[in-house]
Amino acid sequence: MKKEKFKLSTRAWNNIFDISNGLFMLFIVVIMLYPFLNTLAVSLNNATDSIKGGIYLWPRMFTLRNYEVVFENELLLTAFINSVSRTLLSTVGGLFMCSIAAYVLSRQEFLVNAVVTVFFLMTMYISPGLIPVYFLYRDLGLINNFWVYVLPGLFSAFNVIVIRTYMMALPDSLVEAARIDGSGEFQTFIRIVLPLCKPVLATVGLWIAVGNWNDWFSSFIFAPARTELTTLQYELMKVLSSSMAQMSNQQAGAIAAQGAQAFQNISPVAIRATITIIAAVPILCVYPFLQKYFVKGVHVGSVKG
């Protein structure tokens, strides 16, 4: 009797929890979606009109002109190809390097584990400054070279630690079993451990990809002289900064006749919104493919039994 009652209230309690959690998530959805919708609306609104502000969820004066301005760029295709290649190469290379390091460090019996961990960890907190880095890259022949986008950024101590933590949480029995089978370390790593690490690799891969995709600074400092090495973000930054320049160009006195049409049809507010959307869309498209790894998880349980 008593037990029955208890069960019922648990279910009720569960429902209350689910409903309030659902409401909370709705609230999260609203405050997180709003900025994006707002940016989209601004990007679709007349640029001059946008200066006035007060655009919320819907464009006031609809136009595709802002997108046209961005897509007029002669270098956009080159830039896109470069961005995609560097993102792919960096993600694959970065994941490989970080997970190798993580695998070795996840083995606590490894003789020099502590030393190597410290050696890696320190890199997160030392900043040599831009100029010495430039000199290093120049010595390595990386200036104005495509590989400057990929090579220097393959390693990240942060990512190593995150992957290592995940690996250490995996049941030991798996690795032990492999070792008894007599397979070498490298094979154990590739065949057994890596497949089990899909969720964390998806996470870290996303970080590396987003970081590379959004990086315009290396083009700016390390490859400014080579237009064929430009990246999407760098071109987008160019459009943005030139829209700022146009704003002050009017001052150049070229236009005295401030007649009725004498207003620009481009403004940094609108361009910034437009390039944000353009840059974010590819990542929003890739995300669902990775997402299943976070949502579902792996069935480690089965191996244990």
Partner 1 sequence: MKTKNLKRKLIRQRDLFFMIIPVMVYVFVFSYLPLRGWTMAFQFYRPQREVQEWVGLDQFRFLFTDAAFFRVMQNTLGMSFINLVLGFTCAIFLALMMNEIRQMKFKRVVQTISYMPHFLSWVIATALISDFLSSTGILNTLLINIGIYETPNIFLANKDYFWWIVGWGNVWKSVGWNTIIYLAAITSIDPQLYESAALDGAGRFRKIWHITLPGIKSTILVLVIMNIGWILNAGFEVQWLLSNNLTIEKAETIDVFVIRYGINLRNYSLATAMGIFKTVSSIILLTSANWLSKRLVKESLV
Partner 2 sequence: MKFRKLIALLLASAMLVSLLAACTGSGSGDDGGGGTVTPPIVEPGVTPDPPSGEPSAGAALAASLGLPYTPLSEMDPITFTYFIRDPGVAPRSDNPIIGIIETITNTKIEFEFLVGDLETRMSVMLASGDWPDMAYFGGEARPFIDSGLALPLTSLIENNAPNLRSHYAPWWELMKHSDGEIYVAEIYGTPVGTQYINEHWGTAFWLQKAVLDHFGRAPATLDEYFDFIREYKELNPEIDGVPTIGFEILTEGWRRFCIDNPPMFMAGYGNWGPAAPVNQRSFDAPSAAGCRWTNDWNKPYYQKLNDEFHLGTINAETLTRSYDDYLATLASGAVLGLSDQLWNFNSGLDPLRAEGRFERTYLPLDFTYDGVTPMYLDQREFTGNNGLIVNRDVSDPVRLIQYMDYLIQEDVQRLLSWGLEGEHYFYNDRNFLERSQEQRDLQVESQWQEDNMGIRLYNQFPKMQGSFSDGNATTQGEQPDEYMAGLTDYDKELFAKLGIFNQTGLMRSIPAAWPAFYPYWSMTWEDGSAAGLANTRITDINERYLSQLVITAADNFDALWVEYVSAVQDIDASPLWEVIEQISQERLDAFFN
Q: Which residues bind partner 2 (CB under 8 A)?
A: 48-49, 51-54, 74, 130-131, 134-135, 138, 143, 216-217, 220-221, 224-225, 234, 237-238, 241-242, 244-269
Phi, psi of 62 (to 5 degrees): -65, 140
Q: Which does 190 bind (CB under 5 to 8 A by kind): partner 2, partner 1, none?
A: none
Quick one: tokens of 284? 């929003």
Q: Which does 149 bind (CB under 5 to 8 A by kind): partner 2, partner 1, none?
A: none
Q: Which does 103 bind (CB under 5 to 8 A by kind): partner 1, partner 2, none?
A: partner 1
- Shortest separation between residue 248's beta carbon and partner 2, angstroms: 6
- Shortest separation between residue 164's beta carbon and partner 2, angstroms: 34
- Residues in contact with 76: Cβ distance below 8 Å, sequence separation at least 6, in sequence order: 70, 232, 235
- Shortest separation between residue 268's beta carbon and partner 2, angstroms: 8
Helix (H) or strand (E) holding 199: helix 198-214
Q: Which does 35 bind (CB under 5 to 8 A by kind): partner 2, partner 1, none?
A: partner 1
- Shortest separation between residue 262's beta carbon and partner 2, angstroms: 5
Helices 76-106 and 113-122 cross at an angle (nearest 10°) of: 150
- Shortest separation between residue 275's beta carbon and partner 2, angstroms: 12
Q: Which does 21 bind (CB under 5 to 8 A by kind): partner 2, partner 1, none?
A: partner 1
> Residue 193 or residue 269: which is nearer to partner 2 going by CB?
269
> Residue 76 or residue 286: which is nearer to partner 1 going by CB?
286
> Residue 138 or residue 191: which is nearer to partner 2 going by CB?
138
d(CA 159, CA 163): 6
- Output the 3-class SS for 66-86: HHHHHHCCCCHHHHHHHHHHH
Q: Which does 202 bind (CB under 5 to 8 A by kind): partner 1, partner 2, none?
A: partner 1
- Shortest separation between residue 293's beta carbon and partner 1, angstroms: 7
> Residue 189 or residue 234: which is nearer to partner 1 going by CB?
189
> Residue 61 or residue 300: which is nearer to partner 1 going by CB?
300
In Å, how far are 52, 264, 281 from 45, measured between CA atoms? 11, 14, 18
- Residues in contact with 50: Cβ distance below 8 Å, sequence separation at least 6, in sequence order: 42, 267, 269, 270, 273
- Residues in contact with 300: Cβ distance below 8 Å, sequence separation at least 6, in sequence order: 170, 171, 196
Quick one: tokens of 176? 């032990």
